[in-house]
Amino acid sequence: MGGANNICSDKTGTLTKNQMTWTQIWFEKDFKIEETDDIESINLNNYVPSEFSWGILTQCICCNTIGGLKDAGATELAMLKFIDKCGIDFELIREKYLQKEMVRFLFDSARKRMSTIIELSDNEKTEFNY
């Protein structure tokens, strides 16, 4: 370590265990997410104020990730673990929305995001039923 200029510290396990976890979520206000490694389920209502917002979050996570719980990258895995612990079957959501024609822009480090454009039915435009 005598030649080191910078030392990185990590409390979340990202560097030491190669795992990422959600620590905060923002929906109308900032919420700290409880430690998820040791718990079996998460009540999404504690973090998301309305069913409409809950539906949007669910779609964003499920439709903008590619892997599964066994083969996703670290960032996607953190999102999928969170949504799985909320009791949401991400595979079922993907089947529902990704079977239709869609436009997808894969993750690009310059854009710093992945985007998937999906078509909603008329009733899904105003309410979500999961």
- Whether 58 contacts 128, CB under 8 Å: yes
Distance CA 61, CA 70 (A): 16
Q: Where are the alpha helices (DSSP H) in 1-130?
A: 51-63, 74-85, 90-98
pLDDT of residue 8: 56
- Among 68, 67, 66, smallest CA distance to 116 is for 66
Cα–chain center distance at 40: 17
Q: What local confidence, expressed as pLDDT, does residue 24 receive?
A: 83
Is the pLDDT score of 14 beyond 50?
A: yes
47-100 pLDDT, tens digit per residue, is: 887 888 888 888 888 888 888 999 988 888 888 988 998 899 999 998 888 876
Q: Please check the confidence at residue 7 and state whether its pLDDT lies above 60.
A: no
